[in-house]
Amino acid sequence: MPQLDKYLKAMVEHGASDLHFCTGCKPILRKDGSIAALRSEEPLDAQTVKSVLYELMPTENERQFNEVHDTDFAYELEGYGRFRCNVFMDHKGMGGVFRLIPTEILTCEQLGLPESVKKFCTLGKGLVLVTGPTGSGKSTTLAAMIDLINATRSDHIITIEDPIEFVHKNKRCLINQREVFSHTKSFKAALRAALREDPDIVLVGEMRDLETTHIAIETAETGHLVFGTLHTTTAISTVDRLIDQFPSEQQQQIRTMLAGTLKGIVAQNLLKKKGGGRVAALEVLIVNPAVSALIREAKNNQIMSIMQTAKKEGMTLLNDELARLVKQEIVEAEEAWKKAVDKDGFMKALESAGVTYKPPAE
């Protein structure tokens, strides 16, 4: 039995989401967003960490780690679940972070996803993005959306992931899940190949470079439904990020392509709930003709005003969602304030919701 298994078991038994196994530190668990060391353990020396992590790494990931000093892979521990693993090097030595991937795929209802998000799962073509910081639950939301499609449509779904997290069984759909490095060289290589594999729906685990992003937009343009992720915090910053990563001479062309293909953005943040656990605050942008025209005309800064006036269509703003969670006493005001991108806007949303809160001095 790999030596790390006992720590992964402890992580599951403690109800933690992540295990940090780093040189010079005690093993550390993250639970409900906060980290704490395992008191019963001693700090880990460099040789122990090295032997434990090399024991777990697949051969291909070991080769990659030796070349570039970080690598991602998945590991399954029978009876406990699957884990997304990242092994890296820092100034103290080797380290690893292990995230628990729940064996059960939560449904849209269990996650409390709004109807506007479920409607994205009925689209025939276009680009839908789920965004948020690392650890904000993007993979969980996407898994629920793919599961809904799997249960209600008869289509061919291809997922491209690094690594594969949630494992989907065929229901009404045929699902092929491909893992970068294990089953394909890269996201862009798998995405190019996907066009020859008769897909209806393609999930791109991460649009991490310009070429992958370009192919994803082209794939949506050719009549496929494409889901992707980005590490952005708001819907409008996602549009900006998509366009800004292209050279200036290409940006107008990309704006035109996005105006025609982008169907929606779900930007989410995870917050600590009162009494334990976590809850997601979702900002939802639905690309209607007005939003499409603003994207085409490079007037992204005006999208916010449309989102404010189109709530009946299912659009939501992050500040309004944060204020709602505070008013319903699901989260503390301070926690919501920390997660707010636009602090002044959040304070106005709180005031509109009838909640009094004095933020800490910055």
Model pLDDT for residues 17-51, shown as the tens digit of each residue: 999 999 999 999 999 989 999 988 999 999 999 99
pLDDT tens digits along 262-318: 999 999 999 999 998 999 999 999 999 999 999 999 999 999 999 999 999 999 999
Based on the fold, state whether residues 257 and 219 are members of the same structural domain: yes
For CA atoms 178, 224, 142, 307, the dihedral sign is positive
Question: Does the pLDDT of residue 92 top 70, yes or no?
Answer: yes
Rounded mean pLDDT, 250-266: 97
The number of beta carbons lying within 10 Å of the beta carbon of residue 190 is 25
Residue 86 lies in a domain: yes
* Domain CATH number, residue 129: 3.40.50.300
Based on the fold, state whether residues 237 and 122 are members of the same structural domain: yes
The pTM of the full predicted model, rounded to 2 decimals, is 0.88
Domain boundary among 39, 74, 101: 101
Domain boundary among 59, 85, 101: 101
Rounded mean pLDDT, 110-137: 95
pLDDT of amino acid 7: 95
Computed over every residue of the chain, the mean pLDDT equals: 94
Question: Does the pLDDT of residue 362 top 70, yes or no?
Answer: no
Based on the fold, state whether residues 280 and 184 are members of the same structural domain: yes
Name the H helices within the chain.
5-13, 46-56, 59-68, 108-111, 115-120, 138-152, 187-194, 210-221, 235-244, 248-261, 289-296, 303-309, 318-327, 333-339, 343-352
Domain boundary among 281, 299, 316: 316
Based on the fold, state whether residues 295 and 193 are members of the same structural domain: yes
Backbone angles phi, psi at 33, to 5 degrees: 90, -10
Rounded mean pLDDT, 131-148: 94
Q: Scan for tokens 């795929």, then name that residue.
A: 105
pLDDT tens digits along 312-346: 999 999 999 999 999 999 999 999 999 999 999 99
**CA separation for the pair 167, 1 (Å, rounded):** 23
pLDDT of amino acid 23: 97
Based on the fold, state whether residues 195 and 309 are members of the same structural domain: yes
Residue 113 lies in a domain: yes
Counting other chains too, the contacts that 238-246 makes at CB distance below 8 Å and 24 or more residues apart are: 238/129, 238/131, 238/265, 238/267, 239/265, 239/295, 239/300, 239/303, 240/300, 242/213, 243/300, 245/210, 245/213, 246/210, 246/214
Rounded mean pLDDT, 7-24: 95
Class of residue 34 by CB neighbours under 10 A (exposed 0-12, middle 13-18, buried 19+): exposed
Q: Is residue 319 a contact partner of residue 349, using CB atoms and an 8 Å limit?
A: yes
In angstroms, the Cα distances linking 189 to 67, 70, 159, 179 are: 21, 21, 13, 12
pLDDT of amino acid 308: 93
Question: Does the pLDDT of residue 1 top 90, yes or no?
Answer: no
pLDDT of amino acid 360: 86
Rounded mean pLDDT, 93-107: 93
Domain housing 158: 108-316
Number of domains in the chain: 2
* Domain CATH number, residue 11: 3.30.450.90
Based on the fold, state whether residues 150 and 286 are members of the same structural domain: yes
Based on the fold, state whether residues 60 and 202 are members of the same structural domain: no
Based on the fold, state whether residues 34 and 128 are members of the same structural domain: no
Question: What percentage of the chain carries pLDDT values higher than 70?
Answer: 100
pLDDT of amino acid 357: 93
Based on the fold, state whether residues 220 and 235 are members of the same structural domain: yes
Q: Is residue 240 a contact partner of residue 300, using CB atoms and an 8 Å limit?
A: yes
Based on the fold, state whether residues 175 and 86 are members of the same structural domain: no
Question: Does the pLDDT of residue 102 top 90, yes or no?
Answer: no
pLDDT of amino acid 329: 96
**CA separation for the pair 275, 27 (Å, rounded):** 25
Residue 327 lies in a domain: no
**CA separation for the pair 250, 9 (Å, rounded):** 50
Question: Does the pLDDT of residue 53 top 80, yes or no?
Answer: yes
